[in-house]
Chain A
């Protein structure tokens, strides 16, 4: 058709034009595939973690029929604390009762296939529902790690027939395990939970926020509103920008050399972890804060000055409230980064095995990303699922924080 429309075009020109249009199409396709590839990798990552992790919220449990009327256990209603109730049941012989009925309902060696802490689990079920003690009940108790692996498809060959047999009788199945969110680290994947790590993370984040937010905001205010233009201000600015570029592990080295030097007894305490992460988060808050403060129009400052406010009043009564949503957005993003940070915390010793949730800022603790790292080193198949489940929890937290930041940005975004 082209020879009619544009008779001046030679065939060589036509060929070149076709080639150029083809190149255009290829280029566009290349760009699209780059985007699609990146999104696809993200999807693969999320899908792999979700598929692996769903199993982590379950555990393999055995049905044990216990006739508590025969066992003659009692629960003193005067005892208030949970651990003491468990101890009371233990002294009355609950472990032996579970062993007896375990063997009866699961076969001669059945009890051996229960988790060694199964009786604790039975005890907490009794505490939750004391009326169990007056009847015959079917308790679902965690299976041993080996049996769980055999049921899950790998592990000991000699346990597989037993696992299949029990599963066929309906006595062995994977059941939802919400206790995963409430327990702490353990050596057995059937008994682990993330509450200890989560609580450590929360305590660490509180310290980080309490230190990084005020210092970050005040320093942003100073630099943006009051700092004279001189060499000192330049040095401060350069060092803040450089700190934002320093690898996180270097902050870990600082924490190790300085904070642990000052407080040698506080290895792996949330206080030291929070201090270290605060130094890392502060530059992020300063940079976000300065941008938010810069966005407040000068007319507002001039207006306030004109009716007699002092420079400090201008900033704290007018500029800061208007800049706060932007500062908060930056703070949440910085905190999200600190929440996912692992390397600096490894440096200051937060990689210890901590089986009890921390009670304060100076107790030994671990945090969620470090817990993930520690579990990822375990060889046991059961830990793979648990690790992925912990990752899901961590990603959910990050999603919520980032969602909040986006919401704040959209909700309070102002155009002057």
Chain B
């Protein structure tokens, strides 16, 4: 909690600076001959407060990363740390236990040797906490003092404050770029490491998936890292089974709701359909595993299919399709609504029935929007994780039988990264390579969908 304490100290300083500067500006204002200042007193307050808060926040941000390392170093420099095992789990456990007792998170230690380290930990933590508070105070007072000295009647505090605010706005909008860059770099970095161990050709074209996290990391068997069955499972569940459910249901729902339904019903049914997209995916996964998958297995048994699995691609795909319905229907809804009324009226005036109008006029005119909606739905379905983790199974099968278990890219990412494997093992790193492929494919679909809408949307009027 030391970070929170520092934050409170910093905010307290900023508040004090705000009050002090505002009071000073008021007194200057009443003292000046015409009672005029170049900025309102509260802007002087904000000027000082920002000059305290921003450097302090930066310091706290850096300090909360640096301080634990400094604590660790000073503990390791202590004579008692000399008996620690060189590396590995044992060393980590002992250090974690000693730290736990020192911070009060746990009561006692289990491992021999940890008890000796408690005191050094406690000392180091106390020392660096003190340094942290002192640093926060020093920086706050220094910058606050410098800013406070500038509070004068002819000081244009407002323009300065506004410049700082504009800088903050710009920084906030850069977070998106930083995040994208962070995703890209972390994926690329780990993927390159993975491809250093397993060749991309084996990965992208191999037909057998079965990484062994226990195998020797230095010399992986590339024939176990063929990701084609995963890609096939992902496409089969997300882009084939789910879309067979979602496209007709979504499209027909949208058509019914826009063209046939009474407005009163529509105002109820549309939000109800949207609830389908708001249900957490873990709930869908549970529903698929608990209710849908056994029902499918029983049905398959009843019509005489032996060895039907209780985890099947069909169960995962069906439930995922239901989840996707609102995506397809709301995109279709929007693009059908965007077709001018005159085209509909014209068709009806020629004597076409409503469904002929819809099928021959409205849907073709709205097609770019519908296609884009379907692409976004696919990109959503292939990135979906919990449903497949809970209902699709772990075995990588290259088959077209929907009753078999099948595994997907997202399932394998979860499986590889929630095990006990170390970060230097190709099995663990393969998850990042899979993530990278998933990232590129979903971005590609998204990009393509936007292009389709831009390129082919008819401009009426």
Q: Per-residue CB proximity of B74-99 to A under 8 Å, as 1/0?
A: 00000000000000000000001001
Which single residue of chain A is at the shortest CB-CB distance from B431?
Answer: A253
Contacts of B417 in A (CB 8 A): 253, 256, 346-347
Q: State the CA gap A202–B46 with chains docked (Å).
A: 32
Which single residue of chain A is at the shortest CB-CB distance from B99?
Answer: A265
| Contacts of B113-158 to chain A: CB distance below 8 A | 158
B contacts, CB < 8 Å to A = 1, 3-4, 64-65, 68, 96, 99, 105, 158-159, 161-162, 165-166, 168-170, 172-177, 179-180, 182-183, 186-187, 189-190, 248-253, 255-257, 259-261, 269, 271-273, 275-276, 278-287, 289-291, 322, 325, 353-356, 358-359, 376, 379-380, 382-386, 389-390, 410, 413-414, 417-418, 431-432, 435, 438-439, 442-443, 446-447, 450
Contact A376–B289 (Cβ < 8 Å): yes
Q: What 4 A-B pairs are tightest by C-beta distance, nearest first?
A: A247-B383, A31-B256, A340-B280, A257-B186
Q: State the CA gap A214–B168 with chains docked (Å).
A: 10
Contact B256–A28 (Cβ < 8 Å): yes
Contact A245–B276 (Cβ < 8 Å): no
Which single residue of chain A is at the shortest CB-CB distance from B255?
Answer: A31
Q: Per-residue CB proximity of A149-166 to B under 8 Å, as 1/0?
A: 000000000000000000
Q: State the CA gap A257–B192 with chains docked (Å).
A: 14
Q: State the CA gap A406–B414 with chains docked (Å).
A: 35
Which single residue of chain B is at the shortest CB-CB distance from A283?
Answer: B176
Contact A32–B260 (Cβ < 8 Å): yes
Which single residue of chain A is at the shortest CB-CB distance from B259?
Answer: A31
Contact A236–B269 (Cβ < 8 Å): no
Contact B176–A286 (Cβ < 8 Å): yes
Contact B169–A222 (Cβ < 8 Å): yes
Which of A35, A48, A218, A258 has a CB less than 8 Å from the CB of B169? A218
Q: State the CA gap A363–B1 with chains docked (Å).
A: 9
Provide the main secondary structure of the chain B interface: helix
Contact B190–A257 (Cβ < 8 Å): yes
Contacts of A346 in B (CB 8 A): 414, 417-418
* A282-B354 contact given A246-B439, A394-B283, CB 8 Å threshold: no
Which of A38, A235, A250 has a CB less than 8 Å from the CB of B383? A250
Contact A343–B280 (Cβ < 8 Å): no
Which of B282, B386, B435 has a CB less than 8 Å from the CB of A253? B435
Which of A35, A44, A218, A362 has a CB less than 8 Å from the CB of B173? A218
Q: State the CA gap A262–B322 with chains docked (Å).
A: 39
Contact A38–B276 (Cβ < 8 Å): yes
Contacts of A44 in B (CB 8 A): 291
A-B contacts counted at CB < 8 A amount to 257
Q: How far is the CB of B384 from chain A (nearest CB, A)?
A: 7
A106 at the interface (CB under 8 A from B): no
Contacts of A312 in B (CB 8 A): 161-162, 165-166
Q: Per-residue CB proximity of A376-416 to B under 8 Å, as 1/0?
A: 10000000100110010011001000100010000000000
Q: State the CA gap A226–B167 with chains docked (Å).
A: 11
Contacts of A402 in B (CB 8 A): 275, 278
Contact A39–B269 (Cβ < 8 Å): yes
Q: State the CA gap A65–B325 with chains docked (Å).
A: 56
Which single residue of chain A is at the shortest CB-CB distance from B359?
Answer: A27
| Contacts of A222-265 to chain B: CB distance below 8 A | 222-223, 226-227, 235-236, 239-243, 245-251, 253-254, 256-258, 262-263, 265
Contacts of B431 in A (CB 8 A): 253
Q: State the CA gap A311–B169 with chains docked (Å).
A: 13
Which single residue of chain B is at the shortest CB-CB distance from A341?
Answer: B280
Q: State the CA gap A258–B359 with chains docked (Å).
A: 50
Q: State the CA gap A44–B319 with chains docked (Å).
A: 12
The bracket for how many chain A residues form the interface is 35 or more
Contacts of B390 in A (CB 8 A): 373, 376
Q: Known contacts A34-B248, A242-B447; can you find 16 more A-B pairs with CB under 8 A? A: A35-B273, A215-B175, A216-B172, A219-B169, A222-B172, A247-B410, A247-B442, A248-B383, A283-B176, A312-B162, A336-B278, A343-B386, A363-B105, A376-B282, A395-B283, A402-B275
A45 at the interface (CB under 8 A from B): yes
Contacts of A176 in B (CB 8 A): none
Q: Per-residue CB proximity of A9-49 to B under 8 Å, as 1/0?
A: 00000000000110110011011111101110110110011
Which single residue of chain B is at the shortest CB-CB distance from A333?
Answer: B278
* A236-B166 contact given A242-B446, A245-B379, CB 8 Å threshold: no
Q: How far is the CB of A398 from chain B (nearest CB, A)?
A: 6
Contacts of B283 in A (CB 8 A): 45, 49, 340, 372, 391, 394-395
A122 at the interface (CB under 8 A from B): no
Q: State the CA gap A346–B64 with chains docked (Å).
A: 24
A101 at the interface (CB under 8 A from B): no
Contacts of B435 in A (CB 8 A): 249-250, 253
Contact B280–A394 (Cβ < 8 Å): yes
Contact A24–B354 (Cβ < 8 Å): yes
Q: How far is the CB of A242 from chain B (nearest CB, A)?
A: 6
Contacts of A21 in B (CB 8 A): 353
Q: State the CA gap A127–B83 with chains docked (Å).
A: 47
Q: How far is the CB of B74 from chain A (nearest CB, A)?
A: 16
A360 at the interface (CB under 8 A from B): yes
Which single residue of chain B is at the shortest CB-CB distance from A397?
Answer: B280
Contacts of B382 in A (CB 8 A): 247
Q: State the CA gap A226–B283 with chains docked (Å).
A: 42
Contacts of A221 in B (CB 8 A): 169
